Amino acid sequence: MRFMVIVKASEDSENGVLPTEQELAEMGAYNEELVKAGIMLAGEGLHPSSKGARVRFSKDSTPTVVDGPFAETKELVAGFWILEVSSREEVLEWVKKIPFRDGEVEVRQVFTADDFGDALTPELREQEDRQRATVAAQHGE
Amino acid sequence: MPGAGTAMTADVHRVVDAVWRMESAKLVGALTRVTGDVGLAEELAQDALVAALERWPESGVPAKPGAWLMATAKHRAIDTFRRAERLERKTTELGRELADREQAEPDWTAALDEVVEDDVLRLVFISCHPVLSREARVALTLRLIGGLATEEIARAFLVAEPTVAQRIVRAKRTLTAARVPFELPTGADFTARLSSVLEVVYLIFNEGYSATTGASWTRPALCQEALRLGRIVAELTPAEPEVHGLVALLEIQASRLAARIGPDGEPVLLTDQNRSRWDRVLIGRGLAALRRAEQAGRPLGPYGLQAAIAACHARAASVEETDWLRIAALYEALAEVAPSPVVELNRAVAVSRGYGPAAGLELVDALTDVPALRGYHLLPSVRGDLLVQLGRLDEARAEFERAASLTRNEREQALLLDRAAACGPAGRRLEAEA
């Protein structure tokens, strides 16, 4: 299961205040832990919304661009992780370990196609094995 | 409110499971370092898990659940140690030996508090030790490193739970009997032992990749598990190019998991896959891991080469845009480091795509007498395919018919007979002979 862990913006992040050395070190250690656990697929911090833009669509006109910054600070995104774990509980346990002292983090499951397993019947297994051999032999998988 | 408590207990159990997955390898690793016995270490860790299952529903999940488990296991370890010591005191003379040990105990306690980076890696090496059977290595690795329950492993491999439990018990006994030390192998031994680790990860992945069934613990989950294990090992041994090669291979293969299955659950061949369904995140990670393997400055090993081949497909927007010349060259390199007739056959297919069917046929023809491929239906099937492209339909028909007679799979047989029929009626000369 893949989750996006969304870090909400704060006054500081929107004002471009950089994290302290200690905060950076703590975050570095946390990220290292995620990597070593084999679950971190991606993780990035975002520039303040003042450097961003919104593009609005409507059926009557061409898309219009609205430049940042945007007002509703707590609804903005300041960064994210993409984590791959085996349960919702697991991602929440990891999120609880983030070295934040305030603020809010939102956890959302990413749509992936890894739920198709149930569509297969056991009889397909042998066939699948053989097809795999075909794939392996013909296409260098 | 009846039921609410039960629901909450179930929630807590799921949290305990999650914490266990996150912490068990570190826990068992530290306990093995201190007790010198992986079997005892796992029992102590399990005791802590049981304690959590008993207490957390009432006390709530502690703020640092991992530390809680470690502290609990530590207490159990000390109890066990003291009990053993008391027993020994009864049966042996009191003497200097014991005094030494009493002095040693505080260090021993401190040792459990210490976080040792290598603990998990040592545990990986022990779980994949060559003294164990392959099945035992796989089961023990999933259990100790992956933190999976016996039941989950059993479901993943479609075997009975007692079978897996037995495998694990026997594996732990074997390790104790062989006095396998809890340490990192060095020198040439390191390379050999690491390749056993990589093989185990690869076996787990393939079990998930080749056998996607309707079992409740879905097979893609097994691929995920292998990927996670591979990533863990890669971070523990960052200087080893083959580890990154293996991770690259697994990431790229896993990127195709969704595209390999059609809407009705039927398998889809690589050339027919909808490439927009490939997982770009995993491809990106796979390519990055391959770069790490290449940056080691040594020639790629078997996993690295297979990853490089997989990467050629991953980079191509379509079958036509695939760099078949490079794939052919990579197969040639692979045939050198890991020679096998199947690799040769793959190379022939890549050569035919890159240099035309005649060049491919030449390579395939060289394989027709290889004993290992004698009953292998894909050899005549590939040969038939190349003959069709060369317009030699009579020969192609015979090859497809031969391939059909060699496969036991009805669907595939029908497909091959269709292809044989598509080659048109048998030539005049053959008719005259009949």
Beta-carbon separation of A87 and B258 below 8 A = no
- Binning pLDDT at 50, 70 and 90, where does residue A140 land? very low
Domain count, chain A: 1
Q: How far is B418 from chain A (nearest CA, A)?
A: 17
Written in H, E and C, the secondary structure of B286-352 is HHHHHHHHHCCCCCCCHHHHHHHHHHHHHHCCCCCCCCHHHHHHHHHHHHHHCCCHHHHHHHHHHHH
Q: What is the pLDDT of residue B82?
A: 82
Contact B17 A87 (CB under 8 A): yes
Question: Which of A117 and B6 is assigned the larger pLDDT?
Answer: B6
Q: What is the largest CA-CA distance in chain A?
A: 59
Amino acid at B168: I
Which residues of chain B are within 8 Å of residue A112 when distances are taken between CB atoms?
Answer: 258, 279
Q: Answer yes or no: do B214 and A39 touch at CB < 8 A.
A: no
| Whether pLDDT at A74 is above 50 | yes
Could you report the per-residue pLDDT of B332-356, keeping only the tens digit for each?
A: 999 999 998 889 999 999 999 999 9
- Encode pLDDT of A42-60 as tens digits: 999 999 999 999 999 999 8
Contact residues, chain B, for A37 at CB < 8 Å: 22, 228, 232
Rounded to an integer, the average pLDDT of B370-387 is: 90
Report which residue type is found at B340. Answer: S
**A113 has a pLDDT exceeding 80:** no
| Location of structure tokens 């048998």 | B426
Among B61-70, B76-85, B92-101, the minimum mean pLDDT is found in B92-101
- pLDDT per residue as tens digits for the range B358-373: 999 999 999 988 888 8
Give the angle subtended at the CA of B131 by the CAs of B43 and B81, to the nearest 5°. Answer: 30
Which chain B positions have a beta carbon within 8 Å of A92's beta carbon? 15, 18
Sheet strand arrangement including A77-84 = A40-45, A77-84, A2-8, A105-110
Quick one: tokens of B74? 């530590």
- For B358-410, the DSSP string reads HHHHHHHHTTTT-GGGTT-THHHHHHHHHHHHTT-HHHHHHHHHHHHHH---H
The predicted model scores a pTM of: 0.83
Q: Which of A41, A117, A134 sits opposite B219 (nearest CB)?
A: A117
- The contacts of residue B203 (CB under 8 Å, 6+ apart) are B134, B138
Binning pLDDT at 50, 70 and 90, where does residue B92 land? low
**Per-residue pLDDT tens over the stretch B242-282:** 999 999 999 999 999 888 877 766 667 788 889 999 999 99
Its ipTM equals 0.78
**Is A134 close to B378, i.e. CB distance below 8 A?**
yes
The answer to whether the CB of B39 falls within 8 A of the CB of B140 is no
Nearest to A128 among B210, B346, B407 (CB): B210
Put simply, the answer to whether A141 touches B271 (Cβ < 8 Å) is no
Report the pLDDT value the prediction gives residue B428, as an integer from 0 to 100: 39
Mean pLDDT (chain B, rounded): 86
Which residue, among A114, A115, A127, would best test binding to B if mutated, counting the most B CBs under 10 Å from its CB?
A114
Residues of B in contact with A29 (CB under 8 A): none
pLDDT at residue B257, rounded to an integer: 87
The residue in chain B having the minimum alpha-carbon distance to the alpha carbon of residue A91 is: B18
Length of chain B: 434
pLDDT score recorded for residue B410: 73
Q: Which of B22, B65, B346 is opposite residue A37, by nearest beta carbon?
A: B22
- Alpha helices (runs of H) in B145-218, residue ranges in sequence order: 150-156, 161-177, 187-210
Contact A113 B269 (CB under 8 A): no
- Answer whether B65 sits within 8 Å of A93, measured CB to CB: yes
CB of A92 within 8 A of CB of A14?
no
Q: With residue B140 as reference, give the H or E element that holds it.
A: helix B134-144
**Spatial CA neighbour of B253 closest among B270, B265, B235:** B270
Note whether B22 contacts A135, CB cutoff 8 Å: no
CATH number at residue A84: 3.30.70.1060
The span from the CA of B430 to the CA of A23, in Å, is 82
Q: Are B327 and B309 spatial neighbours (Cβ–Cβ below 8 Å)? A: yes
Instruction: Say whether pLDDT at B295 is over 70.
Output: yes
Residues spanned by the domain of A30: 2-139
Of all residues in chain B, the one with the smallest CA distance to A119 is B265
Taking phi over 0 as left and psi of -120 to 50 as alpha, with beta for the rest, B394 belongs to alpha
**What's the pLDDT at B213?**
43
Q: Are residues B218 and A115, on separate chains, in Cβ contact within 8 Å? A: yes
Partners of residue A129 in chain B, C-beta under 8 Å: 210-211
pLDDT at site B270: 85
In sequence order, what are the beta bridge partners of B193?
none
Burial of A59 (0-12, 13-18, 19+ CB in 10 A): exposed
